[in-house]
A and B are shown apart, each in its own frame.
Chain A
Amino acid sequence: MDAIILQILNGLDKGSAYALIALGLTLIFGTLGVVNFAHGALFMIGAFCAVTLSNVFQISRTVIDETRTDFLGNPLKVEIPYVVDWFGESAGAAIIDWAVPLAILFAIPIMITVGFIMERGLIKHFYKRPHADQILVTFGLAIVLQEVIKYFYGANPIPTPAPEAFRGSFDFGTMLGFEANQILYPYWRLVYFFFAAIIIAGVFAFLQFTTFGMVVRAGMADRETVGLLGIDIDRRFTIMFGLAAAVAGLAGVMYVPISPPNYHMGMDFLVLSFVVVVVGGMGSLPGAVLAGFLLGILESFASMREVIAFIPGINQVIIYLVAVVILLTLPRGLMGRKGVMED
């Protein structure tokens, strides 16, 4: 029992990442009808926003501290970050410590801008082109973005820690009445899960309860009619693209402490997210979220030692296997809309 709970918990954080990326992909597909292979790159850019902010906070000036000496007896050089100068000792240290959560604020405008530029500059010209061309051009864009990041940040993963308060694990088992140290779960993963839940709920609430969201939903159902009503649907869809980019970017920002970002993390997630979208059903937002969590949890179950002993290698292929089975049995995926890419 405790093992099962542990696996469900383990699946949640990866599932959250899948769900967030898949949600953005589905938003773009559902509104603009574009298959965006560069979405993984947006996730990666988000992650590097966090890295950048953390680096910026650590820009320091060097001061010679006369009171202390190094091992040769010379006066010690001390690096003092400017942030500490400006905000004082404790506040400055806290800001540096909280770089990753603060990067959320930093990433939102950047991601929305990147999304706007992408949509207006490139994707706009591909609405009328076939899906294969959209896949190819965004695939090319993904390569370009990934190489640009590689040029500036190098090829190695860059570890960026979570704030001090969220390091370490807490004992989830004792809360449920199990023995101590049976179910240990890192705090940050829990944070990630709640963060993802809030973002997902936010996107759904935005689409469901605002006038803007209503127009967008109407546009997803029938773009032409909404246009005929005198609503500038293209502009709203552009904003939705920016929003989807922001969702992917935020997923990336918060994922940084879980696994150090490198330039190809986007591609690694992209392939799986596409599988998630297809399993959930093209164009279905709840489907994308459901499939994201489902596949994340399935993946972590498949990596249990008992399961691997029973079916060797299953942990490597489970997601693809599920995708193949679902695609062949349910033409629309789990919750796909009728008439959306059903061929």
Chain B
Amino acid sequence: MTDQTIQTISRDPAPTAPAHRAKARESTVLGLTRKDLTLLIVVAILTVFAPFILNPFPADSALAQFNAGYPDLMQRFVIFGIFAIGFNILFGLTGYLSFGHAAFLGVGSFAGVWMFKLLGMNVLYAIVASVAFAGLFSVVVGFVSLRRSGIYFSILTLAFAQMSFALAYSVLTPITGGETGLQLAKTDPRIFGQSIADDGNIPVPSFFGLEMRDSTTLYMGGWEFTLNVGYYLCAVVMLVAFYVAIRIFRSPFAMMLRAVKSNQQRMNYTGLNPKPYMLAAFVISGMYAGLAGGLMVSMDPLAGAERMQWTASGEVVLMTILGGAGTLIGPVLGAGFIKYFENIFSKINQATLEGWFSVFPDGLSDLLVTLVYPFVGKGWHLTLGILFMLVVIFLPGGLVQGGQKLATVFRRDKNANAVEGPAADQRSQAGE
């Protein structure tokens, strides 16, 4: 199995397996090979400096609307990154396409809000409870769904998610808040905290005194950078989740899952029972989804049933595939990409476009506006759909594979071909 190395974004040619692995074992820090460690450090640096990197334009310039460095959006980047990393552990490694992962995110959210209501506003309660409850729920769903594979598995997970959504929306209203969503109230007990804060409002989520919504704004020339406590908490959790995902991807456990993906029958013939491994993968990815849900309510203590709808599950599928299923960094990229589109691209309106194209003569500028307008603003889903189709058709390895291809072109390094070839092969074995 020389295709282990293609899981990273590194473009080194894959050497023969035994020699490579022996070398890797020698130089490990935190249990990571040098390549993975570099990846982790790069991701860490990017997340820590994200408030600066994502705000490249001065606050009062015309391009300021492309700044993504505001806390709300950055939190979403990392939270959905966690969600997608978890989904990728299931889909990327085993090829089982779950269309119901949003249910775990929803269960995590509800568990989190209930912790805020019952125990107190420390986000630790919410995060721990959301992971635990999502884990329990995914054990049940996974145990049943994993009795089938292929499209039947997809339909089963979809059925469970839709059932949870429908029930949360109607019958379970006392637990989930139904149509209005689950909200905090001043009458909640909060055994380990205050029911009502000193200022008479509902208390806000905090991490041992650090309030999630606290921000510091730095002014440097025309630039404004907002450093937010909530974002950095999410970022730290994301880095830990990413580190765990790397360890999982490099473990014998992942090898087993990939074996299931490439040929389950042969696995059975060798006398191994793949079910426990599959269930473990399913539960781990469910817990990641729950963690994302817990963080989501820690940032904004409100949970609604629509988070569990199947379109939300479809979104995480889009993220993972767009970024590159089966790669480490792909899902994070995909999540960032889609959330950026959703929040920034959708804000471009007709007036903005007219502003951009005003340099051209009148007729041409009108034509350009008419041509471009359907694809931006409210029509951003159209662009997303087209982009997604293009990725599935031409780049089964997602943006990561695209990056590798580009790199190959620029490097003109024939050895690098060895990297992308197997990557495509491996993707194409997904599914059945």
Contacts and interface: CB of A to CB of B under 8 A. Distances in A.
Interface of A: 35, 122, 125, 129-133, 135-137, 139-144, 147-148, 150-151, 267, 271, 274-275, 278, 282, 312-313, 316-317, 320-321, 323-324, 327-328, 331, 341, 343
A147 B379 contact: yes
B162 interface: yes
B17 interface: no
B156 A133 contact: no
Given A148-B382, A151-B374, A271-B310, A140 B388 contact: yes
Contact of A132 (B311, B385, B430): B430
A271 B162 contact: yes
Contacts of B175: none
Contacts of A131: 150-151, 431-432
Given A271-B310, A274-B155, A343-B432, A143 B163 contact: no
A278 B152 contact: yes
Interface string B185-201: 00000000000000000
B241 interface: no
- Which of A137, A267, A321 has the most chain B CB atoms closer than 10 A to its own CB? A137
State the main secondary structure of chain A at its contact with B. helix
Nearest to A267: B311
A144 B386 contact: yes
Contacts of B160: 320, 324
Nearest to A155: B378
Given A132-B97, A151-B382, A313 B429 contact: no
B152 A320 contact: no
A317 B169 CA distance: 11
A129 B228 CA distance: 45
B349 to A, nearest CB: 15
A125 B390 CA distance: 13
Given A136-B317, A327-B148, A313 B166 contact: yes
A154 B241 CA distance: 41
Contacts of A35: 151
25 contacts: A130-B432, A132-B430, A133-B396, A135-B97, A139-B388, A140-B388, A141-B389, A142-B385, A143-B381, A143-B382, A144-B386, A144-B389, A150-B379, A151-B382, A271-B162, A275-B158, A313-B171, A316-B166, A316-B167, A317-B163, A324-B160, A327-B152, A341-B151, A343-B152, A343-B432
B144 A135 contact: no
A321 B144 CA distance: 12
Contacts of B374: 151
Contacts, number: 121
A291 to B, nearest CB: 13
B162 to A, nearest CB: 5
State the main secondary structure of chain B at its contact with A. helix
Nearest to B396: A133
Nearest to A148: B382
B428 to A, nearest CB: 7
A5 B428 CA distance: 51
A205 B58 CA distance: 69
Contacts of B386: 140, 144
A130 B389 contact: no
A119 to B, nearest CB: 15
A140 B393 CA distance: 10
B108 interface: no
Given A144-B389, A316-B166, A132 B149 contact: no
Interface in B85-102: 95, 97
Given A327-B156, A328-B144, 6 more contacts: A132-B95, A133-B396, A133-B430, A136-B317, A140-B389, A341-B151
B317 to A, nearest CB: 7
Nearest to A35: B151
A114 to B, nearest CB: 16
B314 interface: yes
A271 B311 CA distance: 10
B38 to A, nearest CB: 31
B385 A147 contact: yes
Nearest to B152: A327
A278 B151 contact: yes
B159 A323 contact: yes
A316 B392 CA distance: 34
Given A132-B97, A133-B396, A137-B392, A320 B171 contact: no
Contacts of B127: none
A144 B382 contact: yes
Contacts of B344: none
B379 A151 contact: yes
Contacts of B158: 271, 274-275
A313 B317 CA distance: 29
A320 to B, nearest CB: 4
Contacts of B28: none
A140 B382 contact: no
B358 interface: no
Contacts of A132: 95, 97, 430-432
A282 B95 CA distance: 20
Contacts of A282: 151
Nearest to B387: A140
Interface in B364-402: 374, 379, 381-382, 384-386, 388-389, 392-393, 396
Contact of B431 (A130, A137, A141, A317): A130
B154 interface: yes
B147 interface: yes
- Which of A122, A130, A141 has the most chain B CB atoms closer than 10 A to its own CB? A130
Nearest to A320: B159
